[in-house]
Amino acid sequence: MKKVVGLLAICIFLVTSSMAFAGGYTGGPIKAKLASEEIEGDFMTVWANNFADHMREWSDGKIDIAVYPYGTLGATGDINELAQLGVVDFVFSDYAWISSFVPQAQVLTLNYLFPTEQVPQVLDWMVKNGEFMPLMEKAFNKNGLVPLSVMFEGWQWLSSKDEVKSLEDMSKLKVRLMSSKLLVETYMAYGASPTPMSYGEVYSGLQMGLINAQVNPLFAIYSMKFYEVQNYLTQLHSEPFIGIPTANQKFFNSLTKDAQQEMLNFWREAIIPAGEWITARNASDKKKIQLAKPEIKIHELDDETVKQFKARAETVYPKFVELGGDGAQQILDAFRKDVNNAKKALNIK
């Protein structure tokens, strides 16, 4: 625990020390609300609070952002709508839930497109050098929103009551997913029976047998105690969990240019240190799960099985063009190009 806390302090220092304080804030007092998809202590809420602290310090206390953890302002779908309507000024959500409002964001749900290593570095390269992020900004803007960055929160893990070692085993699963038509299509391609369900309903759904599996990063599986009602954790190597800190467009446009730039600077410079923080946190939570439930079995699919899953996932890629809204083909092409260029730049095979 001390190592995790220490790493958090280092990451906060790295982020804040890397910012150019460019003359400070030139506007008047602002009070804003930020709704987080996750509970207190988990990634989105921790980094939302880091953001609020940074903006308060940078503006000499004039920009005051109140952070609302999961459940305080509604469920995962609700808070994205509140941001679109301007009831809250920011939302920190994921690529799947926000796709109800920005269907183009579903490109990030496509499985087996990211490399299995250096995902924060790949995202950092894409945001700063690629073609994908400007296209996403246009898609968000058309829906009254502004994406500030894309953040790695660790790899998704499949937790289940029954063991999963093959595609055939997926047919046993009634698996909870986030709300995305494309995610549903992907897990149907694997042979599972997917069920979108709100985050706060997952534990009871597993407990009551409405579902027998779910997909989330390790920190969520630990903090929400999903492992208590599951027997297996399986790494498919398929899907990094990605958060998108987002502002209401009308609110963002009302800010001074220096405040807008500082917000973008914070989130974009935080991609790599936040990725390092969550990697350490997930490793710690994995150990905590094993200590709390020694009988739980944790494993990763072998390379041959991954190839079979990947082949099924690839059959879903064309469906993004159908489900991804205006400009979906251009976004998909830019996304795949950016990932490949980032891998070359970073010497990733």
- The confidence score (pLDDT) of residue 1 equals 46
- Is residue 174 very low, low, confident or very high in pLDDT (cuts 50, 70, 90)? very high
Contacts 24+ apart (CB under 8 A), 201-205: 202/176, 202/226, 203/228, 203/229, 205/176
Do residues 109 and 332 lie in contact, with contact meaning Cβ atoms separated by under 8 Å?
no
Of the candidate ranges 2-6, 34-38, 139-143, 328-332, the one whose mean pLDDT is the lowest: 2-6
DSSP type of residue 108? G
Q: How confident is the model at residue 179 (pLDDT cuts 50, 70, 90)?
A: confident
Q: Which two tokens stand for residue 215?
A: 């997909």
Q: CA 10, CA 325: separation in Å to the nearest integer?
A: 40
Residue 329's pLDDT is 97
CB–CB of 258/8 below 8 Å? Answer: no
Residue 165 has pLDDT above 90, yes or no: yes
Model's pTM, two decimal places?
0.91
| pLDDT band, very low/low/confident/very high, at 6 (cuts 50, 70, 90) | very low
Do 201 and 179 contact (CB within 8 A), yes or no? no
Distance, CA of 157 to chain centre: 13
Mean pLDDT for 122-140 is 98
Place of tokens 């779910």: 214
Residues 56, 336: Cα–Cα separation, whole Å: 37
The larger pLDDT score, comparing residue 5 to residue 83, is at 83
Q: Average pLDDT for residues 156-165, to the nearest whole number?
A: 97
- Extract the tokens encoding 171: 């047919």
* 83: amino acid identity, one letter: A
The helix (run of H) or strand (run of E) holding residue 218 is helix 218-223
Best CA proximity match to 178, nearest among 150, 216, 206? 216
Q: What is the mean pLDDT of residues 187-213?
A: 95
Average pLDDT over residues 114-139: 98
Residue 32 has a pLDDT of 98
Superfamily of domain 155-239+294-345: Bacterial extracellular solute-binding protein, family 7 (3.40.190.170)
Predicted pLDDT at 14: 46
Judged on CB neighbours under 10 Å (0-12, 13-18, 19+), 257 is: exposed
How far is the CA of 133 from the CAs of 137, 146, 263, 298, 306, in angstroms?
6, 11, 16, 35, 28
Q: What is the pLDDT of residue 311?
A: 98
Q: Residue 286: left if φ>0, alpha if ψ -120 to 50, beta else—which one? A: alpha
CATH 3.40.190.170 positions along the chain are 2-153+242-281, 155-239+294-345
pLDDT classification of 205: cutoffs 50, 70, 90 = very high
pLDDT digits (tens, 9 = 90+) for 234-288: 999 999 999 999 999 999 999 999 999 999 999 999 999 999 999 999 999 999 9
Domain 2-153+242-281: which CATH class?
A: alpha beta
Strand positions, DSSP E, the chain:
30-36, 63-68, 90-94, 145-147, 151-160, 174-177, 193-196, 213-217, 232-235, 240-248, 297-300
Higher pLDDT, 258 or 196: 258
Q: Is the pLDDT of residue 16 over 80?
A: no
What pLDDT, on the 0 to 100 scale, is given for residue 5?
43
Rounded Cα–Cα distance for residues 280 and 30 (Å): 34
Q: What is the CA radius of gyration of the chain?
A: 20
Give CA–CA dist 320/154, Å, rounded: 23
Classified as helix, coil or strand, 65 is: strand
Distance, CA of 223 to CA of 161 (rounded, Å):
19
Residue 197 has pLDDT above 80, yes or no: yes
pLDDT for residue 74 = 84
pLDDT at 280: 98
Which residue type, as a one-letter code, is found at position 339? V
pLDDT at residue 328 is higher than 80: yes
Q: pLDDT tens digit string along 43-64?
A: 999 999 999 999 999 999 999 9
pLDDT given for residue 9 in this prediction = 43
What does the pLDDT read at residue 26? Answer: 87
Pairing mode of beta strands 174-177, 213-217: parallel
The mean of the pLDDT values for the chain is 93
- Tell me which residue has tokens 């302002």: 73
Q: Which of 25-29, 230-234, 288-292, 343-347 has the lowest mean pLDDT?
A: 25-29
Cα–Cα distance, 128 to 124 (Å, whole number) = 6
List beta partners, residue 175: 194, 213
- Asked whether residue 13 carries a pLDDT value surpassing 50, the answer given is no
Q: What is d(CA 124, CA 326) in angstroms, rounded to the nearest whole number?
A: 25
Residue in the block written with tokens 């251009």: 330
Per-residue confidence (pLDDT) for residue 3, from 0 to 100:
46
Percentage of the chain beyond pLDDT 70 is 93
The pair phi, psi for residue 12, each rounded to 5°, is -60, -40
Q: What integer pLDDT is reported at residue 343 of this predicted model?
A: 98
